[in-house]
Amino acid sequence: MKKRFTLFLTIITLMTTSLRAQSDMDMNALLSQINADSLLQTVMDLQNFGSRFALREGGNIEVAEYLVERLHRYNVSAVIDSFHQDGYNWLGGYYDQWFYNVKGILPSANPVDDSIVIVGAHLDAISYDHSTFSLQTLAPGADDNASGVAVMIELARICHANQLQFNRDIHFMAYDGEELGLFGSYYDAEARLNADDKVKLMINNDMVSFQPDNDWRLTLHWYSNAMDPLHRAAELCAQYTDIEPYIPDVADNTDAAYSDSYAYYRNGFPAVFAIEYTFSTSYHTDHDVADSNNYAYHADVARYNMALLADYALLSNGTGVEEHVTATSMCLSPNPANDRAVLLYQNEEGAIASISVYDMAGRLVLRQDEQGDISGTHRTELNLSHLPSGFYICRLQTPSRVETVKFVRE
Ligand SMILES: [Zn+2]
């Protein structure tokens, strides 16, 4: 467990409940700047390459150059990180090709540690006739996955426009060759493993712009080494967007292996993977065009991303920074619990601790604020009688830390 005392924590110490509400308002003000038109513009730009199929003549170098230029515009130092690969593709043809990842770095203002947060999406596309399996000339990939890349670019734009400062480095990544077998993300994740990089979280978006207007849901695929970030992601999505987060059960989570975050998971790094709940019908065809997307929904997905990025990269401009402590000093008993449970925790003198309980979809189901009259161990009783049986997360926030504990309501 790492203790941190930054300037920001000093500010938090002075916070009252009303100031905390103010802090949430700041985050909402920031998120309101996320713009559907600017997402659409990036999707159009990417679609206008005609095809982003990684094995076409010359590969995706021009796409990568465009993304480097976009990131430079937002003062992110970006480079093309190319790699070579050969083999047989899914149609049996032999290839011998260069692939082009884009890597953009936004350094932290005040590093708390040497870990980084990655926001990534694949830049390549594929389209084929689903009855004959023959490749189509155009691979617009507007939803798959210009939408994910557009989120990454929009976050860079928002960071720059607000001169946001973080306490962890952020890497904005675009991956080539995903459709052929996660080539770009394996290349990057393996390089990071060899370089002993510390990845706090990899945030992946793959197909996040197609959704009917009457059903805004977002699937959050999960990896067994990253359950805390998953629940935090669901919580932030529920808190800051109109989208209902959906966490699939094991049987429904198999698609977790079919996008770039899987390469990070396989190399031991924590990741979350967001994908539209209602799968696009033009998936992997030349009908996957910008017109079919829902940019209001897309903008809300970008808001979920910004909130998650702020949380894990420790945004220090006063919009709700928190450090997550996995080792916990609080204790909830009994667990499994019935109508009542007792929570024991440490609090600072005079401080307000807020206790929140969330269900597995990230919905807030109970909230209790407690004044810490004396420092030391506090005991509080939680009334769980109104909760249906199932898994829950109890979250404690004090001026200096956030702790969570999972429990079962019988
Ligand atoms: Zn994809």
Cα–Cα distance measured from residue 247 to residue 361, given in angstroms and rounded to the nearest whole number: 7
Q: Where are the alpha helices (DSSP H) in 215-332?
A: 227-240, 261-266, 295-312
Task: Tell me the C-alpha to C-alpha distance, in Å, between residue 61 and each of 66, 100, 180, 268.
Answer: 9, 6, 17, 29
pLDDT at 354: 83
Give the Å distance between the CA of 101 and the centre of ligand 1.
Answer: 15
> Tens digit of pLDDT for each residue in 8-36?
333 333 333 344 454 665 899 999 999 99
> Tens digit of pLDDT for each residue in 143-189?
999 999 999 999 999 999 999 999 999 999 999 999 999 999 999 99
Kindly state the tokens that stand for 29.
């003000």
What CATH homologous superfamily does 17-312 map to?
Answer: Zn peptidases (3.40.630.10)
Give the Å distance between the CA of 186 and the centre of ligand 1.
Answer: 15
The arithmetic mean of pLDDT across residues 327-349, rounded, is: 77
Give exposure, 62-87, as e/b (b: 16+ Cβ within 10 Å).
ebbebbbebbeebebebebbbbebee
Give the Å distance between the CA of 124 and the centre of ligand 1.
Answer: 8
Give the Å distance between the CA of 404 and the centre of ligand 1.
Answer: 33
**Averaged confidence pLDDT in the chain:** 88
Q: How confident is the model at residue 361 (pLDDT cuts 50, 70, 90)?
A: confident
Give the Å distance between the CA of 351 and the centre of ligand 1.
Answer: 46
Which amino acid appears at position 31 of this protein?
L
328-409 has the same fold as 17-312: no
Is the pLDDT at 48 greater than 50, yes or no?
A: yes
Is the pLDDT at 336 greater than 70, yes or no?
A: yes
Give the Å distance between the CA of 365 and the centre of ligand 1.
Answer: 34
Looking at the DSSP bridge assignments, the partners of residue 376 are: 347
Prediction pTM value: 0.75
- The C-alpha angle with vertex 203 and arms to 197 and 207, in degrees rounded to 5, equals 140
- The C-alpha angle with vertex 133 and arms to 83 and 127, in degrees rounded to 5, equals 50
pLDDT at 19: 42
The arithmetic mean of pLDDT across residues 374-398, rounded, is: 82
Give, rounded to a whole angstrom, the gap between the first and last alpha carbons of the chain. Answer: 31
pLDDT at 8: 35
Is the pLDDT at 404 greater than 70, yes or no?
A: yes
Cα–Cα distance measured from residue 351 to residue 330, given in angstroms and rounded to the nearest whole number: 16
Kindly state the tokens that stand for 228.
């805390």
Give the Å distance between the CA of 314 and the centre of ligand 1.
Answer: 28
Domain boundary assignment for the chain: 17-312, 328-409
**403 contacts 330 by C-beta, under 8 angstroms:** yes
Give the Å distance between the CA of 32 and the centre of ligand 1.
Answer: 27
CA 190 vs. chain centroid, Å, equals 20
The arithmetic mean of pLDDT across residues 98-122, rounded, is: 95
Give the Å distance between the CA of 340 and the centre of ligand 1.
Answer: 45
Q: Edge-to-edge strands of the sheet including 198-205?
A: 77-88, 94-106, 169-175, 115-122, 198-205, 271-276, 217-221, 244-246
Give the chain's count of helices (H) and strands (E).
9, 16
Cα–Cα distance measured from residue 80 to residue 149, given in angstroms and rounded to the nearest whole number: 15
Give the Å distance between the CA of 179 and the centre of ligand 1.
Answer: 7
**31 contacts 299 by C-beta, under 8 angstroms:** no
**153 contacts 99 by C-beta, under 8 angstroms:** no
**166-170, 171-175, 286-290, 362-366: lowest mean pLDDT where?**
362-366
CATH number of 328-409: 2.60.40.3080
- The C-alpha angle with vertex 28 and arms to 204 and 163, in degrees rounded to 5, equals 75
**346 contacts 377 by C-beta, under 8 angstroms:** yes
pLDDT at 23: 62
**324 contacts 227 by C-beta, under 8 angstroms:** no
